[in-house]
Amino acid sequence: MIDPDDLSYKVAIWKTEVYKGARATTHTVRWRVGTKRHREPLRSGRQAEAFRAQLVQAQSRGEAFSISRGRPVSVLRATADKEAQERQGVTWYDFAVSYVDHKWSDTSAKHRANIAFALMMATTALLSTDRGMPDPILLRGALKRWAFSKTNRAKQQPAEVEAALRWVAQNCRTVGELSDPGLAGSMVQAVTRDLHGRNLKVSSQRRNHSIIKAALAHAVSEGLLDYSPIKELEVKSSSSVHQVDRRCVINPRQAGQLLNAVREYGDEHTDQKSGPRLVAFFAVMYYAALRPEEAVNLRRHDLVLPEPKHTTSEDGEEELTYDWGTIYVGQVTPDAEPAFTDDGSNRDTRDAPKQRGAGEVRPVPCDPELTRLLWEHMEEFGTDSRGRLFTGVRDGTPLASSTYRRAWSRARDRALTESEAASPLARRPYDLRHTCVSTWLNAGVSTKLVAQWAGHSVAVLQAIYAKCLVGEEEQAKTRIEEARKRF
């Protein structure tokens, strides 16, 4: 696009200036547009003559010149057309790979995987032919795990993956072709369906559509498209917040039975019982509402625990009592596909948990019973070299999701009745967090305080759980203790 305010018909073209240096001779064409002077140094006299003649001819035809760039309008338009043709020749596959790199540093491993899936589905819809196409499963895997993974792309690709991606690069449509509404519609349809052609759930449709919409907006900003060809996604309304199923929440009696069953768990892959190492892990979810990815990364310096007190019971026996402490939740390590983490591990390290900025921590009250369990855990198992409380049985490796999920499944089978085990009751370790938040709310803790402890916004908390009465923090702690004693 040429700015009319940048054009002028006042052009003066002077004689070519020749400078003979020690190593080369320079021929400089000199001219002025409006009040701005321009120079174009060239090595050849013929080149200088041809360039000057082009300027003179444009001036003779009465063409306007760009004041800032010094070129006649015809030259600017020809250059713009050439650049546009070059940009429109960029294939969707090449653009998608570059878009992955563009987004990589600013997104979590989970969202990187979501981007890779959406781009994979879009790419399969933009192939110009199926002649010679590799096996579809191989093709999709090569796209998602290799082409759209910056981590894996830096590695040596298997021969079959390299061949599949070479075929895609040679048989993918250009970005410019997406100006065709029919082709763009086919791409949108592809990203809102699963691998079997069935509609994805509404939240997944919206997520994938949003990813493709953002990618096309980037294509517009890069000059590959004049405008985004896709419209807003038309799907049935659906809330993005899912309410907690009340049937998954356990009571304190059931919680005690489950934690005791965890303590008895033994891993068939090892010679020692791994359950005792996991009791406190599940307890921080039940008593402090930590997410599994937060609990996995809990370290000694995240805990402010009062020392146990030696007291004498009514029977005259000495016993230890524990008080409220505080857990500071900071860095989280959610599960992730190794292809989409920076270091190729199966956990993604992030400094900013939900609802907070980078570097912030979330203080959570530590129930006296949890204080006891944490002290006992550290006395028996200590921490690893990085201060982590929860590790695997062998060599202090990071606690694997498969390990604690398997232990929880076995504990449910042991602690619950047959009908309870078949129900949604505490089906996932995450349900311990739901139980904790529900307990806080039912104890009369204010929604603002519960939201702060749980790492939610008040609006999301109210949507997921329930509205509750206002209460002060110290009163809330007392009510929580009283609520647990009722069972």
Query: Mind listing the pLDDT tens digit for each residue in 281-306?
Result: 999 999 999 999 899 989 999 999 99
Query: What is the predicted pLDDT for the residue at 281?
Result: 96
Compare 199 and 331 and report the one with higher pLDDT.
Answer: 199
Whether the per-residue pLDDT at 161 is higher than 70: the answer is yes
Of the candidates 439, 435, 408, 402, the residue with the CA atom closest to the CA atom of residue 421: 408
Name the token pair of 438. Answer: 């529900």
Q: Rounded distance, CA 100 to CA 188, Å?
A: 18
* Contact present, 8 and 59 (Cβ < 8 Å): no
Of the candidates 370, 347, 382, 371, the residue with the CA atom closest to the CA atom of residue 277: 382
Name the token pair of 365. Answer: 């009250």
pLDDT digits (tens, 9 = 90+) for 395-409: 667 788 888 999 999
Query: What is the predicted pLDDT for the residue at 453?
Result: 93
CB-based contacts of 234-239 (< 8 A; 24+ apart in sequence): 235/192, 235/202, 235/205, 235/206, 236/202, 238/202, 238/203, 239/463
Phi, psi of 206, rounded to the nearest 5 degrees: -65, -40
pLDDT digits (tens, 9 = 90+) for 185-237: 999 999 998 888 888 888 889 999 999 999 999 998 888 888 888 877 765 54
- Say if strands 303-304 and 325-329 run parallel, antiparallel, or are unpaired: antiparallel
What residues form DSSP beta bridges with 478?
A: none
Radius of gyration of the chain (CA): 33
Q: ∠ CA 186-188-194 to the nearest 5 degrees?
A: 95
| Stated pTM of the model | 0.65
Please report, rounded to a whole number, the percentage of residues in the chain having pLDDT higher than 90. 57
Whether the per-residue pLDDT at 355 is higher than 50: the answer is no
Count, residues in the chain? 487
pLDDT digits (tens, 9 = 90+) for 410-419: 999 999 999 9
Helices 181-191 and 109-124 cross at an angle (nearest 10°) of 130
Which residue do the tokens 């010149």 mark? 65
Instruction: Classify burial at 65, counting beta carbons within 10 Å of its beta carbon; exposed 0-12, middle 13-18, buried 19 or more.
Output: buried
Write the CB contacts of 318 (distance below 8 Å, at least 6 apart in sequence): 310, 311, 312
Whether the per-residue pLDDT at 15 is higher than 80: the answer is yes
* Contact present, 330 and 361 (Cβ < 8 Å): yes
Whether the per-residue pLDDT at 271 is higher than 80: the answer is no
Q: Rounded distance, CA 417 to CA 315, Å?
A: 36
pLDDT digits (tens, 9 = 90+) for 85-120: 555 578 999 999 999 999 999 898 999 999 999 999
Phi, psi of 194, rounded to the nearest 5 degrees: -85, -175
Give the residue-averaged pLDDT of 163-186. Answer: 92
Q: What is the largest CA-CA distance in the chain?
A: 113
Query: What is the predicted pLDDT for the residue at 470?
Result: 36
Of the candidates 357, 247, 364, 236, the residue with the CA atom closest to the CA atom of residue 303: 364
Query: What is the predicted pLDDT for the residue at 125?
Result: 94
* Contact present, 106 and 79 (Cβ < 8 Å): no
Q: 155 to each of 115, 145, 338, 422, how far by Cα in Å?
A: 20, 11, 13, 45
Of the candidates 260, 279, 242, 290, the residue with the CA atom closest to the CA atom of residue 432: 290
- CATH architecture of the domain with range 246-485: Orthogonal Bundle (1.10)
Give the residue-averaged pLDDT of 249-261. Answer: 92
Whether the per-residue pLDDT at 240 is higher than 70: the answer is no
Query: Over the chain, what is the mean pLDDT?
Result: 86
Q: Rounded distance, CA 279 to CA 471, Å?
A: 31
Whether the per-residue pLDDT at 316 is higher than 80: the answer is no
The model's confidence at residue 4, banded by pLDDT at 50, 70 and 90, is confident
Name the token pair of 43. Answer: 């090595």
Residue ranges covered by each domain of the chain: 4-87, 92-221, 246-485
Compare 57 and 265 and report the one with higher pLDDT.
Answer: 57
Strand spans (E) along 7-86: 7-8, 11-13, 17-20, 25-33, 36-42, 65-66
* Contact present, 423 and 262 (Cβ < 8 Å): no
Select the highest-mean-pLDDT range: 54-58, 177-181, 219-223. 54-58
**Residue 462: how many CB atoms within 10 A of its CB?**
17
Q: 294 to each of 261, 335, 348, 451, how far by Cα in Å?
A: 23, 11, 12, 16
